[in-house]
Amino acid sequence: MHKYLPHTAQDIEEMLKVTGASSLDDLFSSIPKKLRLTKPYNIPSALSDDNLTKHMKNLAGQNKELVIFRGAGAYDHYTPSIVKALISRQEFLTSYTPYQPEVAQGTLQYIFEYQTMVCELTGMEVSNASMYDGATATAEAMFMAYAQTGLNQILVSSTMNPRTIDVIKTYARYRNIEVILVPEKNGLTDLNWVKANASNKMGLIVQNPNYFGIIENYDGFASVIHDAGGLFIMNAEGQSLSLLKTPGEYDADIACGDLQSLGVPLSFGGAYIGYLATKNKYVRKMPGRICGLTTDVDGKRAFVLTLQAREQHIRRAKANSNICSNQSLLALAVTVYLSAMGKEGLVEVANESMKGAHYLYQKLIQTGKFEVVYDQPFFKEFVLKAKFDVEAFEKILLSKGILGPLHIKDNRLLFAVTERRTIEEIDHLVELVVNQQ
């Protein structure tokens, strides 16, 4: 019995007739010839279980495990074994959005727990069931502001991650939204500029810590934006929420960002997980799904799908967003991580990252090989300007098994340190810097 029903020769002939193609090859005529195979692909013969295992190990052995001093939105944090073990269970790993949600009590429960934890971290009142990543979550926050205010211009701080800004601009383009960048002033969002330009804007999007790793003080920003009739949106990286002032404490209307640092490995660039949280009064503008807690007919605790915007499915042209899936395996990973670490553990890990970053910063300044760029408080990332050839330095680091800092521009390097970096690894990096000409 086939797992699917293959097309018969008659099926293929009828479909070609409908499409107007004379052969299967005609269906691929738009693909340039240089991209097509000129001879049949040589698929190797099946291997035995033991030989296949050896083959996969050989392939895996070609990967190079690097000591990472780079962040810029993706961080080399430790993922506890319990996270991998639980999300690998088949009821979680193979599940998808439950179309009769109340039947899937386990899925609804961990989404509810995830939402609760996000609200605790951000200081907001309600969270949805997770987003694809931090950049798209930020763009969806912009759509919420657009739907709430009806205005078509938004202020975005230049101190945000440029890749997030690019995603915001991409989303904005197809809603005819104008993105106006707020200039930076010594690595910080210029509040005076915001005051002068907040009128008739749907809101302001900022990031904390910002792209340069700087901890910005956003006191006073919310009142300026609210007085102008807009929404204050804050993108905050997950781990930093355990130590820094929360979006809720800054009176932000919407909090968003990436939670990759909370139990999700780098995984060659993804998949990651974004979060989106807001005040109760904006919950009807929030995309995706929200799970809740109630009691069933017997008075027992039960989890339910409390809210989802149906126009995402049936009135797409009128929807605030077309994000409607619940792909929450990574939300489960974050939930397990936070449960395992607890509040004290989360703070301890964040402190270790911050202490390591400040240790490296001081050591690098002492070498005399760098200039200070921003004299501002920072969390686990910082920018320094090198007095040597940074491209040659990067090649040296790679030869030593180190993925070094990100070259931003003009010999400016963005360093990142997590709790995984030991004093020995940091000192080794500093030693390599000392040897630069």
Inform me whether the pLDDT recorded for 27 exceeds 80.
yes
Q: What is the pLDDT of residues 345-357, one digit of tens each?
A: 999 999 999 999 9
Dist CA 62 CA 82 (whole Å) = 27
Q: What is the pLDDT of residues 172-228, one digit of tens each?
A: 998 999 999 999 999 999 999 999 999 999 999 999 999 999 999 999 999 999 999
pLDDT band at residue 93 under the 50/70/90 scheme: confident
Q: What is the pLDDT of residue 268?
A: 86
Residue 323 or residue 246, greater confidence: 246
> Cβ contacts of residue 297 below 8 Å, gap of 6+?
none
Q: Walk me through the domains of the chain, giving residue ranges and CATH numbers.
A: 67-77+342-434 (3.90.1150.10), 82-337 (3.40.640.10)
Proportion of the chain above pLDDT 70, given as a percent: 94
- Tell me which of 83-97, 229-243, 342-356 is least confident: 83-97
Q: What is the pLDDT of residue 407?
A: 97
CA 269 to chain centre: 10
Q: What is the pLDDT of residue 99?
A: 66
pLDDT band at residue 105 under the 50/70/90 scheme: confident
Dist CA 377 CA 124 (whole Å) = 25
* DSSP-assigned states of every residue in 220-238: THHHHHHHTT-EEEEEE-T
Q: Both ends of the chain: CA-CA distance in Å?
A: 69
Inform me whether the pLDDT recorded for 308 exceeds 80.
no
- Helix H or strand E encompassing 370: strand 370-372
Inform me whether the pLDDT recorded for 384 exceeds 90.
yes
DSSP state of 47: -
Residue 348 φ/ψ, nearest 5 degrees: -65, -45
How large is the average pLDDT for residues 306-316?
65
Q: What is the pLDDT of residue 324?
A: 63
Type of residue found at 294? T
The answer to whether the CB of 176 falls within 8 A of the CB of 208 is no
Q: What is the pLDDT of residue 90?
A: 85
> Cβ contacts of residue 261 below 8 Å, gap of 6+?
75, 77, 237, 238, 239, 418
Q: What is the pLDDT of residues 267-306, one digit of tens each?
A: 988 899 999 999 999 998 998 888 999 998 899 999 988 8
Inform me whether the pLDDT recorded for 416 exceeds 90.
yes
Q: What is the pLDDT of residue 436?
A: 81
pLDDT band at residue 249 under the 50/70/90 scheme: very high
3-class SS string, 154-209 = EEEECCCCHHHHHHHHHHHHCCCCEEEEECEECCEECHHHHHHHCCCCCEEEEEEC
Q: What is the pLDDT of residue 274?
A: 95
How large is the average pLDDT for residues 238-248?
97
> Cβ contacts of residue 381 below 8 Å, gap of 6+?
71, 72, 209, 212, 213, 357, 414, 415, 416, 417
Decide: helix, strand or coil at residue 105.
Answer: helix
Inform me whether the pLDDT recorded for 26 exceeds 60.
yes
Residue 295 φ/ψ, nearest 5 degrees: -125, 150
Dist CA 218 CA 206 (whole Å) = 9
